[in-house]
Structures are given as structure tokens and as C-alpha cells.
Amino acid sequence: MSGSITRLAADYLQCSVNGVPFAVMGSAGNHGRKFAEHDYPWRDGVWIEDMGKRAQRYSVRGFLVGALALTRRNLLVDIAETSGTCLFVHPTLGALTGWMVDFSWRERDGMTGIVDIEFAFVEKADLLGSVVTQALTAAVEVATLAFNAAAADDYTTTTASSYDYGSSVTSAGAGVATAWAAGAVAAIGSPAAVAGSVAVVAGNNGRYANGNVSGTDSTATASTVLSGMAAALVSADAVVAELGDATNAASIAALVLALTEQVRAALCDPSQQIAALVTLTSFTPVVITSSAPIGGAIATVQTATAMLCRQAALLSIAVACSTYEPTSSDDAEALQQQVAALFDDEATIAADAGNTATFLAMRGVRAKVLADLSARASALPSLMTVTRNAGLPALLLAQQLYQDGSRAPDLIRRANPVHPAFMPTSFEALST
């Protein structure tokens, strides 16, 4: 009997809930939208009010088999009775996060070691899919580590013989790095960075301080945030001073790669991180070519150092993109195109310079970042143009468009009206 049961289980696909496996016999789904039906006296027909997307509900039938069948049944009972979400892995639906509800089980008559189970699973509403997003973020971080190592190695290899000429060449390389680093320090202390830093403070800080921050810090205050930015400025100034005193290629490479991460860490808003770092990717020093050996060495070091600085900015941009939360599919696609162009241009320069390792690492980071942004874009609503004959209040428009007045702040941020009570007659908003 046990052998036939084992063969029976092998004929079915495998599922799991929080790692507890079972064989699935059948599945069904229930999808659609929520509607409220309004029926009025002396009116023909009804008025249907669209109340948004309905929860994704799945029905699953399966069985547990073998010596551990009862143990696994008890584990599934514990999962069903425990508060919070669980991870459901299905052979055709994939990995889903949600709640297991209406769990029931039954032991077959006259048979031991086999338990039939049936439950419903309600998927948690998550536009970006936390499981996929976390995996893509991790892939970006791994790729940036390889990019970091390759850029530093290619820089030290390319400039090794040039730095042998002595202090004049070293000063030239440090001078290029210091000039570029001044832009990084300016980005941290810019008015936009200071204003955007308030976005992590809980409360209504106005439409211009919302930024792209995913959440607020309940312990943060305006004074603590500004103190943190002041400390970041002091730290960045210290790195610039160290760059000016650097005496070899390894020191310059380490300090340059560390500075862009300091810029990213100092700015709490990923959109400001990207904007600040993008300005550092366009750095091009004035390089005077010379036929003299020492003049050629200086030109080589200056060119290679500028290339390293731009690559460091791109590396931190990739990390910032993994934490950036697009507001629409159009937003994600625009960032995708911008990042792709930046990486393509710099990858071509690295290939022309013969830095194969950096070129390959850069292409790897580019692929991971674009895959991450593509996944986000495909799961987000697009933009539409809203047109009205007169300027209406944002609350009214939010109710008209989404049947949800709490979405008025998003409309205000996108339309940027003089006053929220008088929205523009034409502006862009999310389609759903």
C-alpha cells in the first residue's frame, strides 16, 4: 500500500506553505473587481459603483502522504492559526504572499499515512511583489560588488607605470579626484538635499518635502536630520582632504569609491540620490596631451582618474535605483532609459580603454538594474491626462477618479497647483 501511495504522490505537482510541502490535486482562482449595486425607487436599472480591484483568492486541494503526513498536517494547522502572512509556493502561480484561510483536512477512510487538505489563499496586495523585488535588489547589490572590485583593479593596473614617475603625476591624479569630489560635497549641502531630508520626519511636511522616501522614522526630528547632514558634510570634506594627500593609485581608488557611497547615504531620498550622482557622471577634466614621457604619464593618470570617478558615481546610482520607488510605470521607464544611456556611454569608454573587467562588470550591473526597473514598471499603473472644464478641488477630483479622497495628496504633488482647491484644468494622474 505504501508503495502505491508514494507513486501516487509522485504523479502530482508539489506545493508548499511556509516550507511545508504537500501534493496539489487541483486549484482554482477568483478574480475581478468590487462593485456596489445601488438600486433607486422609480428608476429603471441600477447604478454600479466601482470600488476597486477585488482580492485575489485561490482555492487549493491537495494531500499529505507518508510517515510525516500527520506532522505536516499539524504544521499547516499552526500556520493557519498564526497571525500574519505566509509564503505560498505553487507550481503554476509561483511564489505568493498572503493569508491561508478556511483550512480543512480529512483522513481517508480505511487508509493511514494520507491526509486530504483543502484551503483558500488570499494574496496580499503588493504592487511590486516583495519576493521578486527582494531578489532583484540582492542581484543588483552583488553585481555592484563585482563592479567595484573590477573598477579599482583596472585603475591601479592602468596607472601603475605612470605613477612610477613620482610626485608630479601623483599630484595630477589627486587633483582630478579632488576637483570631482568638490561636486559631491556640493550635492550633499545643496538646498534641495536639505529640504528633502525632512521627508523622513513623521507628519505633514508639505508637498515639496514628500520626496521618494518609502517610510518615515518615528524617532527623527528636523534637528536630528539636519545634524546628520552636517556630520555627512564633515565626513565628505575629510575624504576630499585625504584625496588631496593621496600618494598612490590604491588610495585614490578606495577614497573615490567610498565618497559616492557617502553621498548616497547622506541623502535619504533615492530620487535626490540619483539626481546628485548623475551630475557626477558628466565630469571631464582638461587633459593636455604631451609627447614627453612624464607629460604622457600625467595625461594617462588624469584620464583614468576621471573615468574611475564617473564609474564610482554609476555604481552608487545602481544601488540607489534598487531602493527607488517609481510612482508610475512611466516614471520607472523614464529612469530605466536614463540609467541605460549612462551605463552605455561609460561602458563604451571603458571598452575603448581596454578595461575588459570593468566593461563586463558594468554590463552586468546594467542588466540587473534594468531588470529590476522593468519588473517595477510592469506592475505599476500608467499615467493618464485628466481634463476638466474648470479648476476643481483636489479632494473632489480624487473622489471622482479613484472613489478615494485620501489620494488627493498624490494629485496635488503631480499637478503642483497654486492652491489645492483650484487644480489645473489639465494635468497627469495615475490611471488606477
Q: Which tens digits make up the pLDDT trace of 306-322?
A: 999 999 999 899 888 88
More reliable by pLDDT, 9 or 391: 391
27 alpha-carbon distance from chain centroid: 32
**Selection from 238, 267, 272, 233 nearest residue 255 by Cα:** 238
Q: Which amino acid is at 7?
A: R
Q: In this structure, are 110 and 242 located in the same domain?
A: no
Residue 125: the pLDDT is 63
Alpha helix positions (H), 66-129? 69-81
User: Does residue 175 surpass a pLDDT of 80?
Assistant: yes
d(CA 150, CA 161) in angstroms, rounded, equals: 18
Whole-structure pTM over 0.85, yes or no?
no
User: Does residue 60 surpass a pLDDT of 90?
Assistant: yes
Q: How many CB atoms are closer than 10 A to CB 111?
A: 11
Residue 142: the pLDDT is 66
113: left (phi over 0), alpha (psi -120 to 50) or beta: left
Residue 346: the pLDDT is 92
Domain count, the chain: 3
Q: How many CB atoms are closer than 10 A to CB 182?
A: 13
Q: In this structure, are 115 and 141 located in the same domain?
A: no
Q: In this structure, are 280 and 395 located in the same domain?
A: no
pLDDT digits (tens, 9 = 90+) for 276-287: 899 999 988 888
In a domain, 375, yes or no: no
- Which range has the worst mean pLDDT, 108-112, 214-218, 226-230, 378-382? 214-218
E-assigned strands of 198-308? none
More reliable by pLDDT, 128 or 13: 13
Q: In this structure, are 115 and 36 located in the same domain?
A: yes
Q: How many CB atoms are closer than 10 A to CB 2?
A: 12
Q: How many CB atoms are closer than 10 A to CB 129?
A: 19
In a domain, 210, yes or no: yes
In a domain, 372, yes or no: no
3-state secondary structure of 354: coil
d(CA 432, CA 426) in angstroms, rounded, equals: 17
Q: In this structure, are 229 and 136 located in the same domain?
A: yes
More reliable by pLDDT, 223 or 116: 116
What average pLDDT score do residues 263-271 get? 84
User: Does residue 132 surpass a pLDDT of 50?
Assistant: no
In a domain, 373, yes or no: no
Task: Supply 292's cell numbers.
Answer: 614627453
Residue 119: the pLDDT is 94
Q: In this structure, are 103 and 135 located in the same domain?
A: no
Percent of the chain at pLDDT exceeding 70: 88
Q: Which of 70, 100, 123 is the last residue of a domain?
A: 123
d(CA 161, CA 227) in angstroms, rounded, equals: 44
51 phi/psi in degrees, rounded to 5: -110, 20
Q: In this structure, are 235 and 259 located in the same domain?
A: yes
What average pLDDT score do residues 260-282 get? 87
In a domain, 268, yes or no: yes
In a domain, 354, yes or no: no
- Give me the long-range contacts of 48-57 (CB less than 8 A, separation at least 24): 49/403, 50/403, 51/403, 52/403, 52/404, 53/125, 53/432, 54/30, 55/122, 55/123, 55/125, 56/29, 56/30, 56/31, 56/98, 56/122, 56/123, 57/29, 57/30, 57/31, 57/120, 57/121, 57/122, 57/123
Q: Which of 65, 88, 123 is the last residue of a domain?
A: 123
Q: In this structure, are 244 and 136 located in the same domain?
A: yes
Confidence of residue 207 (pLDDT cuts 50, 70, 90): low
Confidence of residue 32 (pLDDT cuts 50, 70, 90): confident
Confidence of residue 245 (pLDDT cuts 50, 70, 90): confident
Domain that holds residue 47: 15-123
136 alpha-carbon distance from chain centroid: 8
Confidence of residue 68 (pLDDT cuts 50, 70, 90): confident
What average pLDDT score do residues 323-345 get? 87
Average pLDDT of every residue of the chain: 82
Q: In this structure, are 135 and 274 located in the same domain?
A: yes
Q: In this structure, are 47 and 179 located in the same domain?
A: no
Percent of the chain at pLDDT exceeding 90: 13
- Which range has the worst mean pLDDT, 194-198, 238-242, 331-335? 194-198
Confidence of residue 133 (pLDDT cuts 50, 70, 90): very low
Q: In this structure, are 169 and 240 located in the same domain?
A: yes
User: Does residue 62 surpass a pLDDT of 60?
Assistant: yes
Q: In this structure, are 142 and 104 located in the same domain?
A: no
In a domain, 349, yes or no: no
**Selection from 283, 243, 236, 281 nearest residue 262 by Cα:** 236
In a domain, 369, yes or no: no
